Structure 1
């Protein structure tokens, strides 16, 4: 019988606890960083902590947050959707065109949602049935196609006018609760809750995690991988249509320039929040934390009159740090499992 040295056992247990504590810090890292950013910005600018500016941050972040939630669904399956910004622009232009010809609020909203979902369906169907090696290819193509259609339909100019329901959602505040609180915040909260329930309480959501986390295992279990992949791209496109409603409501127009580089913000928000490009890991909270981190950085830098190019550099650095943190977390989790097995 092998007798374990008590000193070595205690040392191993100590290392296991230290590694576990470090993992907890890494998992909470995005939330902690967001809290530190808020404190720093509040000290650097007296305007930052005012309720009016908080309302501005929430309004500016709403579009990124909605797009990021859709992007999260795609990234959970080891995919990517580069077309959401262009889908937003096309949805807004189609909505403004429909409103100009029909003057119907419900029809306008349905047109915007349907346009976004249609672009997402094209992405998913071509990816699956075209047997493409990676979604980068088709989503890059639809990025260009959707933007071109938006420019063609609008003639390259914004189309003014949106129905009251769109203006209320995207541009008005919840005066019944707080005059500074934008209505779009409630829309973001609703999308977040519905998506969370979808991912955690419904079998389809568990299939999404399975397809991204272990594709071979999902195939052996008989999970309908093709249908799951198509569904996440449709959802991503649909949420681009929702983001178009918010953007058009704020600006009372549909423009082909809406959503320019928004796909990069959405991807950055998901990655900064802690989700993994390797799939199968992440939740809605990750996307929201990342989106608000980007919103706080941009808002704070604008208040401090920092040049726009420096804002891009800072966000890029934050993305690199977030990706490296994800890699480090993966290695530490593997090491933690080894130590845990040895300790048991």
Structure 2
């Protein structure tokens, strides 16, 4: 037990060392990287992935996956903008309806995974495909514009020098850490992810836990979608193409085991910052988007590979 705790401490500290090394490397390559202006831009850009990664952390802790995250973000973009612009729904009500819709999508995923027994990979891929199509039908493939100035605050506003999206991301990370560390729900997430049969025998209603986790994933993805919509000021049917990949990379790189049962929110914070630094730094050194995708793919493989290697060592 002591050896496992020591390993977790070393692992959690090592990821911050990686982040610092990346920052130093990109600063040497381009001194603009470390400027206050660029760092705030970097944080604003990563806020969407960071918010969505909170819900994804809960899902992966269960040993499941949610491929619908990107589509939920897109669907939220289109639905909220359509409600406000084409139907004249007040901003506050449109936000509530949108978050309720994204949460219901998560509950739908929970129903397919927990009640029907469809593997999460297949269930959420089906949801991803369906709601991508629904979003395009709603907006007819065209961007929706014309929001009020007050709505722009969520994605473009500042409190002092700090962008509002960054504040929302910090609150979400704090809430996620509180759920994992201070509530019995968090203990259930670890228990079900570590050994679902043992959790069931101990009296945990594992089906309800899965419903809750996917509902939370849908909610946080919806919140991320609202922040993105406010930032870009346009509802588009392809707004978050591939975002689920980046969100999963943030979580896995942050040390959350893909087999479930282990991981900390602080690690996910570090993983999110690393992905942010990689994306921003590669742009500053003029790497094209294709090369960036290759790098992110390699990072994901290395993170998962390291997790699998750790699991094998513990088993032996």
Are residues 334 and 50 of structure 1, via their aligned partners in 2, closer, same or farther at CA, if it must alter by over 3 Å? Answer: same
1:130-141 paired onto structure 2 within 5 Å: 130-132=116-118, 134-141=119-126
Specify which of 314, 336, 340 is matched with residue 295 of structure 2. Answer: 314
1:146-157 paired onto structure 2 within 5 Å: 146-157=131-142
Specify which of 73, 83, 94 is matched with residue 58 of structure 2. Answer: 73
For the residue of structure 2 that corresponds to 1:48, the secondary structure is helix
Specify which of 169, 172, 175 is matched with residue 191 of structure 1. Answer: 172
Number of the residue aligned with 1:119: 105
Measure the CA separation in 1 of the matches of 2:182 and 2:5.
28
Number of the residue aligned with 2:181: 200
The range that moved more, 164-173 or 87-96, is 164-173
- Using the size of structure 2 for normalisation, the TM-score is 0.94
Measure the CA separation in 2 of the matches of 1:97 and 1:22.
49
Matched, 1:173 2:184: no
Measure the CA separation in 2 of the matches of 1:189 and 1:283.
15
For the residue of structure 2 that corresponds to 1:189, the secondary structure is helix
Matched, 1:129 2:115: yes
Is the Cα–Cα contact under 8 Å of residues 274 and 326 in structure 1 kept in the other structure? yes
Measure the CA separation in 2 of the matches of 1:87 and 1:332.
37
Is the Cα–Cα contact under 8 Å of residues 103 and 163 in structure 1 kept in the other structure? no
Measure the CA separation in 2 of the matches of 1:52 and 1:141.
40
Number of the residue aligned with 1:263: 244
The range that moved more, 27-36 or 263-272, is 27-36
Measure the CA separation in 1 of the matches of 2:11 and 2:219.
32
Structure 1: unaligned runs, 5 residues or longer: 1-15, 336-344
| Higher Cα radius of gyration | 1
Is the Cα–Cα contact under 8 Å of residues 12 and 267 in structure 2 kept in the other structure? no
Specify which of 57, 76, 80 is matched with residue 95 of structure 1. Answer: 80
Is the Cα–Cα contact under 8 Å of residues 81 and 145 in structure 2 kept in the other structure? yes
Number of the residue aligned with 1:218: 199
TM-superposed deviation, 1:108:
1.8
For residues 282-310 of structure 1, the C-alpha deviation after alignment (integer angstroms, 9 at most, x for no partner) is 12122221121111111011111112111
Aligned residues between the structures: 314
For the residue of structure 1 that corresponds to 2:290, the secondary structure is helix
Is the Cα–Cα contact under 8 Å of residues 69 and 192 in structure 1 kept in the other structure? yes
Are residues 20 and 64 of structure 1, via their aligned partners in 2, closer, same or farther at CA, if it must alter by over 3 Å? Answer: closer
Is the Cα–Cα contact under 8 Å of residues 109 and 166 in structure 1 kept in the other structure? no
Measure the CA separation in 1 of the matches of 2:148 and 2:258.
39
The range that moved more, 71-80 or 326-335, is 326-335
Measure the CA separation in 1 of the matches of 2:268 and 2:300.
13
For residues 61-84 of structure 1, the C-alpha deviation after alignment (integer angstroms, 9 at most, x for no partner) is 001111111111000111100001
TM-superposed deviation, 1:159:
0.6
For the residue of structure 1 that corresponds to 2:142, the secondary structure is coil
TM-superposed deviation, 1:28:
2.5
Measure the CA separation in 1 of the matches of 2:189 and 2:54.
14
Number of the residue aligned with 1:12: none
Are residues 227 and 163 of structure 1, via their aligned partners in 2, closer, same or farther at CA, if it must alter by over 3 Å? Answer: farther
Structure 2: unaligned runs, 5 residues or longer: none
Number of the residue aligned with 1:10: none
Number of the residue aligned with 2:260: 279
Matched, 1:326 2:286: no
Number of the residue aligned with 1:28: 13
Number of the residue aligned with 1:230: 211
Matched, 1:162 2:144: no
